[in-house]
Structure formats: structure tokens, C-alpha cells
């Protein structure tokens, strides 16, 4: 009996040992298989080793993100992307409005070069032979796809349509349309009867993220990534949040209790010393109540966090599919946004909040990855940067420059300015405003200076509360910033480099 028991015990041990051996062998086989799959995914089927590109854009997103130091905003997905690439802390749009800005960064040309300075013009009318950023990749054999808003479409009116799209730029397009379109009758607006896109309006929506237009867009982008292609790809994913109306599913609003939202005060609220063309909202804050302003900011942040979660779905898919080692991921906005600074809201100003944009470039193997740079860059630099990183030759007349040197060394000297411009269309005498940013100063001229000049010292006055333009102590700085503005607005001068900026 005892022997039988021992025998069984030995048998059991033997069985256990055999099972263990088989189990270990199976695990080892699985690991080999998994690593083979990962390697297979990392290696392009075609043997074409050029890098892929995932270009993710947000709409009307200012630098109100966790990775840019915002005390309230929750943006864990974009923050995560920032920790693996280079975060640009002084990146600026060329025009704080959808169509002019998008046309500019997708062509690599300044608005004065494209001739597009409103939301109706088409760049091919003026420059039919333009090769856009995605088109350059098409011409070089990439599969080039767009999901959502890259070239301009009106929000919310043209959601789900091509809008002002450029068919020559893409092999494949997806125009997502979600329940946000069907819920428009529930939207709250501070100015009922006005288009939702042009005023402050919002909705804490019923339903799930995946039902929203941007949720459907993220899913479409993931599906495109999952199509294992035999050639490198360029995928542009254009989210349109947090553009007005600020619509996001209800749980995102709960992240921002109204009592935690403070309004702009102190130097950031000042309007004295500001030229009239700079003040786009009169009366200040549209004259609406503190509560309505808080609700608008709550909804803007909620829309941002919702959009951030959709960004995470796309980035997760790149990682899950084993594409990260050979895929560049860019995250950026088309322009910034005012949330009450100087009593101003939305866009079309030349203050810092409207001109500045988030920009993150995560390119495999860059020495500067996981760091930030305080050097001044422009959205027109994205086109030559992506061409450079992928070994493509861009058109010779681009207005921007490759940011590769900063991706390799975020601290290197980089004495360039960033120019942002707007048009003011009066009934009879339209004129322009130009603003240039150096690492320290912002300088703005309205109608060549005839209708006002602004100078702000960001070292001492980051809220742009004190206009120093007419202060004789700053005459030298004004002269230097004028020179920087002239350098920056001269067509196709950008490749030559500028003199050291102040
Ligand atoms: Ca926009």
C-alpha cells in the first residue's frame, strides 16, 4: 500500500515534472512565437524601411494640457506621448483660424504665400501646382490616408463631409460622423440663434465616447493601422475637439467641478494699452456671467480630455501592432485659443494664447526624445521636418525649416522667430496684423503699426499685461523685433536662417 502510494507519488511527481516540462516548453515556444510576431510586425513586409507617419491634429486646442503644466486639465494620453518624444514649449501657428492655419502647415507655406486668410478660400486657386505634405508622401509611394478634419471643414456644419478637402493629397479618406450631429438641438449656447461654431456653446452628452464623431474617427484610424500594408504609410488623424460646440460625454465634465474653475484676473485680464484691433470681443467676456464663463471653460476642458482619450486609442494601436519603432507620431493643434484673457474668447487674436500651440514630435531614435525644448518653432516647420525624417525631398520653396536638429539636441542654438498673422476685415478698409515671437518677447504691428503696436516681455510679464511698445527704454528691442518680423515674413527666406534673435 505504502509502496503503491510511493509509486503513485513518484508517478505524480513524474507527471508533474512532465507537465512542467511541457508547460515550460510551451511557454518558451509562445515567447519565441510572440517575439517572432513582434519582429514580423516591426519589419515591413516589403523590405521598405522608410518610417511611417501618424500625424494627429486637434482643433482649437490651446496649451491647456497636463504636459504643458496646466493645473487642472487631465490629458494622460498626450502627456504619455510627450514623455517619449520631444515636447515643443514655444511652437506657434501662422494664422489663428482653421482654414488659413491648416492650409499653411499642410503646404509648408505662410498664409501670405498661399493667399488663404479666411475660411472660404482654396489654395489651389492661387497655387494649383502646390505639393502638399501628404501629397509629397503619396508621390513617394506611401499609402496616405486621412480620417476626419485635416484641411478645413466647418464645425459643426460640415462634420461628416469632405469640406474644403484637397483630393490630390490622399489615397483614402474617412469622414466620421457621430451622434454629436444628432444631439445639436440639446446644445447650450450663450447666443441662441448664432451658429454653434462661432459662439460659446456646449453639451454634456449622453452615450459613450465611441458614439461621438471623434470616437468614430479614432476607431477608423485604428482600423487603418491594422491593415498590414506592403508599403510605408502616412496616416493623418484630424480630431475636431475641443472646437465649439464643446461636446463630450457626461463623465468628462465630472473631471472639472465648476468650483475648481477660476477666471482670468490680474495682469492677464488687462485691456488698457491694448490697440483696438487686438480686442476682438467687446464687451469683455461678451458680458456674460461668471457662471457661464466657468461652464464654458469646464466644457472646453471636458472636450479636451475626451479628445485626449481618443488620441490614446490611436497611439495604443501603434504600440499594440508593433509599429512604434518605425513610426513617427506627431501631435499638434491648428492654433491656440483665448479663454478669457483680456476679456477675449476663441481665436483670431495675436495674443500668446491664440498663437501658441501644443506640438509633440515622437520620432524613433532621436537623441532629444523624452525632453522638451524652449526654442521658438512654427507649424510650417512640420512639413520639412517630416520630409527630412523620412528621407523625402520637399519642394524647394517651403517657408519652414526642418526641426531635426532640435529633435537631436533640444538645447542647441536656434535663433529664429515665429510669425503669426490675422486679417481684420472692416467694411471698407481691411488691414492685417502681424506678430513675431522670440524666446523672450512678443511684438505685434497692426496695419504696419499705423493702428497700434504691442511689445510684451515674457520674462517678466507672461500674461501680456503691460504693453511696452512705446516705452523709450525698449526702443532697441522694438527695432530688433521689427527686423525679426521682416525676416520672418519675407517669402521663402526661412531656409537662410536669421540673425541671433533678442
Ligand atoms: Ca481650428
DSSP per-residue codes, 223-238:
HHHHS--SS-EEEEEE
Angle between helices 382-389 and 98-107 (to 10 degrees): 30
Q: How far is the CA of 99 from the centre of ligand 1 (A)?
A: 8
Residues 118, 112, 399: CA angle, nearest 5 degrees = 125
pLDDT of 489 above 90 = no
Q: Is residue 275 part of a domain?
A: yes
The CATH number that applies at residue 79 is 3.40.720.10
As to burial, measured by CB atoms within 10 angstroms (0-12 exposed, 13-18 middle, 19+ buried), residue 129 is exposed
Render 102-131 in DSSP notation, one character per residue.
HHHHHHT--HHHHT--SSS--HHHH-TT--
* Res 130: pLDDT: 97
* Res 179: pLDDT: 97
* Res 228: pLDDT: 76
* Res 10: pLDDT: 45
Q: How far is the CA of 476 from the centre of ligand 1 (A)?
A: 35
Please state the domain count of the chain.
1
Q: How far is the CA of 407 from the centre of ligand 1 (A)?
A: 26
Answer yes or no: are the C-beta atoms of 491 and 113 closer than 8 Å. Answer: yes
Rounded to an integer, the average pLDDT of 104-120 is 96
CA distance 200 to 180: 16
Q: Is residue 87 part of a domain?
A: yes
pLDDT of 15 above 50 = no
Q: How far is the CA of 149 from the centre of ligand 1 (A)?
A: 10
* Res 31: pLDDT: 46
CA distance 410 to 407: 6
Which of the residue ranges 67-81, 86-100, 413-427 would you say has the lowest mean pLDDT? 413-427
What is the percentage of the chain residues whose pLDDT exceeds 90? 84
What pLDDT, in 10s, does the model give residues 114-159? 999 999 999 999 999 999 999 999 999 999 999 999 999 999 999 9
* Res 46: pLDDT: 63
- What phi and psi values does residue 90 have, to the nearest 5 degrees? -130, 70
What pLDDT, in 10s, does the model give residues 384-415? 999 999 999 999 999 999 999 999 999 999 98
Answer yes or no: are the C-beta atoms of 66 and 75 closer than 8 Å. Answer: yes
Q: How far is the CA of 411 from the centre of ligand 1 (A)?
A: 30
Q: How far is the CA of 465 from the centre of ligand 1 (A)?
A: 25
Rounded to an integer, the average pLDDT of 322-336 is 97
Q: Is residue 153 part of a domain?
A: yes
Instruction: Tell the residue number behind the cell numbers 486609442, with chain if given.
Output: 313
Q: What is the mean pLDDT of the chain?
A: 91
Q: How far is the CA of 333 from the centre of ligand 1 (A)?
A: 8
Instruction: Tell the residue number behind the cell numbers 467694411, with chain if given.
Output: 427
CA distance 41 to 369: 23
pLDDT of 37 above 80 = no
Q: How far is the CA of 332 from the centre of ligand 1 (A)?
A: 11
Answer yes or no: are the C-beta atoms of 186 and 203 closer than 8 Å. Answer: yes
Q: How far is the CA of 441 from the centre of ligand 1 (A)?
A: 25
Burial 59-69 (b: 16+ CB within 10 A, else e): bbbbbbbbbbe
78, 79, 81, 82: CA torsion to nearest 10: 120
pTM higher than 0.95: no
Query: In 10 A of CB 17, how many CB atoms?
Result: 10
Element (H, E) at 98: helix 98-107
Q: How far is the CA of 294 from the centre of ligand 1 (A)?
A: 21
- Share of the chain residues as helix, strand and coil, in percent rounded to the nearest 5: 40, 20, 40
**Residue 305 Cα distances to 34, 74, 256, 364, 484, angstroms:** 34, 6, 10, 26, 37
Q: How far is the CA of 139 from the centre of ligand 1 (A)?
A: 28
What pLDDT, in 10s, does the model give residues 353-381? 999 999 999 999 999 999 999 999 999 99
* Res 48: pLDDT: 79
Q: Is residue 429 part of a domain?
A: no
Q: Is residue 361 part of a domain?
A: yes
* Res 410: pLDDT: 98
pLDDT of 11 above 70 = no
Rounded to an integer, the average pLDDT of 238-250 is 98
Domain coverage including residue 313: 52-414
Q: How far is the CA of 247 from the centre of ligand 1 (A)?
A: 15
Q: Is residue 306 part of a domain?
A: yes
Q: How far is the CA of 481 from the centre of ligand 1 (A)?
A: 27
- Cell output for 192: 441662441
* Res 36: pLDDT: 43
Instruction: Tell the residue number behind the cell numbers 515622437, with chain if given.
Output: 362
What pLDDT, in 10s, does the model give residues 250-296? 999 999 999 999 999 999 999 999 999 999 999 999 999 999 999 99
Q: How far is the CA of 243 from the centre of ligand 1 (A)?
A: 7
Amino acid at each position: 500500500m505504502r509502496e503503491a502510494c510511493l509509486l503513485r507519488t513518484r508517478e505524480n511527481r513524474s507527471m508533474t515534472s512532465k507537465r512542467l516540462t511541457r508547460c515550460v516548453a510551451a511557454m518558451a515556444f509562445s515567447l519565441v512565437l510572440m517575439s517572432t510576431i513582434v519582429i514580423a510586425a516591426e519589419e515591413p513586409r516589403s523590405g521598405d524601411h522608410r518610417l511611417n507617419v501618424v500625424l494627429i491634429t486637434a482643433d482649437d486646442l490651446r496649451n491647456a494640457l497636463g504636459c504643458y503644466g496646466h493645473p487642472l486639465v487631465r490629458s494622460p494620453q498626450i502627456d504619455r506621448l510627450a514623455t517619449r518624444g520631444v515636447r515643443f514649449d514655444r511652437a506657434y501657428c501662422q494664422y489663428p483660424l482653421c482654414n488659413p492655419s491648416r492650409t499653411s502647415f499642410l503646404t509648408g507655406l505662410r498664409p501670405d504665400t498661399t493667399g488663404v486668410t479666411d475660411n472660404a478660400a482654396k489654395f489651389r486657386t492661387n497655387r494649383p501646382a502646390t505639393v502638399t505634405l501628404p501629397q509629397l508622401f503619396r508621390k513617394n509611394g506611401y499609402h496616405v490616408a486621412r480620417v476626419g478634419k485635416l484641411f478645413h471643414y466647418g464645425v459643426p456644419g460640415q462634420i461628416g463631409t469632405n469640406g474644403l478637402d484637397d483630393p490630390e493629397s490622399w489615397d483614402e479618406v474617412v469622414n466620421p460622423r457621430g451622434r454629436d450631429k444628432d444631439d445639436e438641438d440639446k446644445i447650450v449656447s450663450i447666443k441662441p440663434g448664432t451658429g454653434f461654431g462661432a459662439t460659446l456653446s456646449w453639451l454634456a452628452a449622453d452615450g459613450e465616447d465611441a458614439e461621438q464623431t471623434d470616437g468614430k474617427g479614432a476607431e477608423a484610424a485604428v482600423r487603418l493601422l491594422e491593415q498590414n500594408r506592403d508599403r510605408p504609410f502616412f496616416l493623418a488623424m484630424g480630431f475636431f475637439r475641443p472646437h465649439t460646440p464643446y461636446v463630450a460625454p457626461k463623465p468628462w465634465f465630472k473631471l472639472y467641478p465648476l468650483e475648481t474653475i477660476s477666471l482670468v484676473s490680474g495682469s492677464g485680464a488687462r485691456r488698457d494699452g491694448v490697440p483696438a484691433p487686438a480686442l476682438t470681443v467687446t464687451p469683455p467676456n461678451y458680458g456674460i456671467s461668471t457662471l457661464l464663463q466657468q461652464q464654458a471653460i469646464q466644457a472646453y476642458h471636458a472636450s479636451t480630455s475626451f479628445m485626449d482619450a481618443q488620441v490614446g486609442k490611436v497611439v495604443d494601436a501603434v504600440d499594440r501592432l508593433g509599429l512604434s519603432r518605425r513610426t513617427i507620431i506627431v501631435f499638434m493643434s491648428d492654433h491656440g485659443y483665448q479663454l478669457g484673457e483680456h476679456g477675449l474668447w476663441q481665436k483670431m487674436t495675436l495674443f500668446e494664447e491664440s498663437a501658441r500651440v501644443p506640438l509633440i514630435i515622437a520620432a524613433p531614435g532621436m537623441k532629444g526624445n523624452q525632453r522638451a525644448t524652449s526654442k521658438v518653432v512654427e507649424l510650417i516647420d512640420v512639413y520639412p521636418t517630416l520630409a527630412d525624417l523620412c528621407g523625402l525631398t520637399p519642394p524647394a520653396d517651403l517657408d519652414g525649416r526642418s526641426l531635426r536638429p532640435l529633435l537631436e539636441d533640444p538645447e542647441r542654438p536656434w535663433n529664429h522667430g515665429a510669425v503669426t498673422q490675422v486679417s481684420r476685415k472692416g467694411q471698407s478698409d481691411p488691414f492685417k496684423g502681424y506678430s513675431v515671437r522670440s524666446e523672450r518677447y512678443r511684438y505685434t504691428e497692426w496695419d504696419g503699426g499705423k493702428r497700434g503696436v504691442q511689445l510684451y516681455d515674457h520674462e517678466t510679464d507672461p500674461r501680456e499685461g503691460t504693453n511696452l511698445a512705446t516705452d523709450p527704454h525698449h526702443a532697441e528691442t522694438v527695432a530688433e523685433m521689427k527686423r525679426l518680423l521682416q525676416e520672418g515674413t519675407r517669402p521663402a527666406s526661412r531656409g537662410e536662417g536669421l540673425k541671433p534673435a533678442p
